[in-house]
Structure 1
Amino acid sequence: MKTHNSFDEKFEFEGTAKTGSLIALAIGLVAIVAGFLMGGDHVQRMFSNLLLMSYYFVCVCTCGVFFLSYQYVAQAGWSASLIRVPQAFAKVLPIASILLLVVVSAGLFTQHEVIHEGKKHMVPYLYASWATHGLTVVGSENYNAVIAGKAPFLTVGFFYGVLVAFLAAYSYFGYALTKCSTDEDTEGGMRNYNKSFALACTFLVIFGFTFPIFAFGTIMSLEAHWFSTMFGWYNLAAMHVSGVAIMALTIILLRKKGYMQWVTSDHLHDFGKLIFGFSIFWTYVWFAQFFLTWYANIPEESVYFYKRWEPEYKFWFWLNIAMNFLAPLLLLMSRDAKRLTNRMMWTCILLIAGHWLDYYLMIMPGTVVEKRGFAVEEIGTFVAFAGLFTFLMLTQLSKFKSLIPKKHPFLQESLHHHI
């Protein structure tokens, strides 16, 4: 590895990081297989956990594209020297997207038997609230007028069309922004930067309109009777906080290994401001969605929170707000706190776990009948995806010829960033 003032520094993916990620992936896969082999309720929990982690995986990688885009649109200088990390996230997005589609397809087309009101029904493991046969057929014993009214949207064709189109678009913009950056290192000049600016503007317009719909389809439709216009923005805030936390944690760990020594406490301060600010925004949307639903007391809406106030989930419901609001509020409010490497590192780890819990509470109460604490399904799936993400992301990071975009027009501003 070159010295910290060299523009030829290249990340070498080897040693503990590579071995550890592969071991985590192997252990997680064994736990996932074991969960399916146990049968019964364990299979349903496995599908729910796979959806949770594949959705989380996609959101983190999409955050890489989102981060790059608003940095270009804002013509931000502070981040220019560290954009290789979000670019590595973006390059993993196509794989994450395919994995999410595989999980969704398996859960949608694999059925199991349930007993409801004394009758046996065959329902899919995922999206049973709208994908069960006969829900929209007048005269069927499964007919549901609410779902029938939403039938133009809650169909397999529309569901897949939206999912594939949006994920393909996000992946394309991630690829294009990364390619412009690497081409810039070879060609120099402003052509690639100007192209990146145009791509970023286009992406943000598309992303702003489509990400809420993506969240509606993938997660909110698990409980298709319920609806919240805030759900998309709630997911956007969660996606951004968790994604930026993982970016910051990656950079901190790279610095501890001797890489990216040009990243200073001033850069960490900016990451801390983003994490702190969007954690407050997440809390605002969380509270508004919860309070207005409770205040209106509309049965088809309040049932969503009623489930999450059952004894099995109530502790986790309040822990969610403590981890994702109180923790960043208390740990990152002051200027000095954002500049302490170890405090930033542990806050990021806490928020990564906190938003896993956030997604857990979005998914589990609406999909799992038998409620119990965390077990092999939750732990194993998390470990598997953590290992997979680490391996794929660091592999992509190692493919860059340099960890620093040598000809980025704002590079010197970033290297001399001070606040």
Structure 2
Amino acid sequence: MIVGAIAIIAGFFVYGENHHARWWSNMMINGFYFLGIALGALFFYALHFATETAWAVMLRRVMEAVFSFIPYASVVMIIVFIGSTFHWNHIYHWMDEATTMQYVTAASEGSAHPDYFYSLEAAEKAGADVMANPSYDELIANKTMYLNKPFFWIRTLIYLATFILFGNWFRKRSLKEDEVGGTEIHMKGYKRAAVYLVIFAVFSSTLSWDWLMSIDTHWFSTLYGWYVFSGMWVSAMNIITILTLYLISKGYLKEVNSSHLQDMGKWVFALSFLWSYLWFSQFMLIWYSNIPEEVTYFIVRINEYKVPFFGMFIVNFALPMVVLMSRDAKRNPGFLIAMGTIIFIGHYMDTFMLIVPGVMEKMAFGWLEVGFLLGFMGLFINRVFSSLAKAPLEPQKSPYLEESLHHSI
């Protein structure tokens, strides 16, 4: 966290070009990446309730600890969005009214705060002498029914409030179940989880459109929401696996056996394939059709970020496929830790590629990025371990506890 604080403070003053674009990009990358990990953990938590997956009960506290980071990552995202709203950064081009107003008063054109008008009729009513706005972008202007600041903030606050409320409810219900036992609380969790899965199915796509896809405002993809969601999910399962192995190495979670680890390894293995399938599907279909307004998204990434763009795909697809294919590898803590570390870095680079090319035509990966990542990792670890310390690491009275304790595959 100290390294991160130094990077944040020093980076703001050192990298001041273009409204501190590099600094704000790093805030966005890390805020979204760790929020995505937390949301992926909350999704799997709800999924294991809705499907009554018994083996995952032993990992419940780890999942709760991971999604406890949602409020902290939400604060970071809100800071970035406030910066965009007040034009402290230019992450979202559509937030600049110069792109959506068709006319500008001749006297104010080129000034710090020009007077813009949507139409000639509006200008005539104001009695202004206007000219065509040279910054007007018809494509962005046509999206203003959805991409406008008030509606963007309404959606964003609904997303974050929903995630925080559901996360808090699941956590409180879990701790209360340790005290009273029985099946009543479990059944409430079962129903609430089913509701959350439906909500998240919508929100995981729409937030990816709002927060990420709108960075490249002219471009869109119907696979984008699924692609971003798969990245969240695999990143979360990877972190849950690493945390579980760490706790086992410290003498905790003694009831977690090799079968539990194999199931976690299976999830990381399978979700790596899901993410890779969606990455390739989106890339192949757009590149093969070669429609100019679609391929522009990949042209800048290939021309300016070729190594990280293709490198992170190879890392996130080929390595899990080779290393985690066998049963023994999924039960081997050494393999899981090594692979997990690589996947963590690989999906961080995936988030980097989702954001940076749309903000900056060319940005080097250097010490600033390393400092930001280490700082956010420190904060994430601190908050997760703090959550782990507040309750027994093994659920006490879950109806599926006995089945989870004797899990064997």
Equivalent runs, 1:60-209 vs 2, <5 Å: 60-111=37-88, 124-128=89-93, 130-139=94-103, 140-209=133-202
Contact kept in structure 2, 1:35 and 1:42, CA below 8 Å: no
Distance 2:212 2:299 in 1: 18
- Distance, in Å, in 1 between the alignment partners of 2:217 and 2:341 is 32
Q: Deviations over 1:32-61 (max 9, x none)?
A: 211111122592111001101000111111
What is the aligned partner in structure 2 of residue 33 from structure 1? 9
1: CA distance, partners of 2:33 / 2:268: 17
Identity rate, percent: 36
Residue matched to 2:121: none
Q: Is the contact between residue 81 and residue 411 of structure 1 (CA under 8 Å) also seen in structure 2? A: yes
Deviation at 1:137, TM superposition (A): 1.4
Structure 1 residue 345 corresponds to structure 2 residue 345: no
Please tell me whether the aligned partners of residues 309 and 353 of structure 2 are also in contact (alpha carbons under 8 angstroms): yes
- 2:372 aligned partner, one-letter code: T
Structure 1 residue 228: deviation in Å? 0.5
Taking the aligned partners of 1:153 and 1:343, their CA distance within structure 2 comes to 46
How many angstroms apart in 2 are the aligned matches of 1:102 and 1:80?
35
Q: What CA deviation, in whole Å up to 9, does each residue of 1:46-99 have, x standing for no partner?
A: 100110100011111111210111001111110111200111122221222122
CA distance in 1, matches of 2:177, 2:76: 31
Partner of residue 411, structure 1: 401
Q: Deviations over 1:352-382 (max 9, x none)?
A: 100000011111111013x243112211110
Which segments of structure 1 move beyond 2 Å, counting only runs of 4 or more? none
Which whole-Å CA distance do the structure 1 matches of 2:145 and 2:368 have between them?
34
What is the alpha-carbon distance in structure 1 between the residues aligned to residue 405 and residue 49 of structure 2? Answer: 17
CA contact (8 A) 1:131 1:155 kept: yes
Q: TM-score, normalised by structure 2?
A: 0.91
- Aligned counterparts of 1:392 and 1:190: Cα–Cα separation in 2: 30
Question: Unaligned 5+ residue runs, structure 2?
Answer: 104-132
The question of whether the paired residues in 1 share the 8 Å contact of 2:356 and 2:363 is answered with: no
Is the Cα–Cα contact under 8 Å of residues 35 and 376 in structure 1 kept in the other structure? no
Look up the SS of the partner of 1:243 in the other structure.
helix
Q: Secondary structure of the equivalent of 1:262? A: coil
The answer for the alignment partner of 2:263 in structure 1 is 270
Partner of 1:360: 352
The one-letter code sitting in structure 2 at the alignment partner of 1:405 is: P
Q: Distance in 2 between matches of 1:239 and 1:77?
A: 23
The structure whose Rg is larger is 2
How far residue 108 of structure 1 moved from its aligned partner, in angstroms, is 3.5
> What TM-score, normalized to structure 1?
0.88
| Residue 379 (structure 1) aligns with | 370
Alpha-carbon distance between aligned partners in 1 of 2:200 and 2:71, rounded to the nearest angstrom: 16
Q: Which residue identity is paired with 1:136?
A: T
Counterpart residue number, 1:391:
382
Aligned length: 379
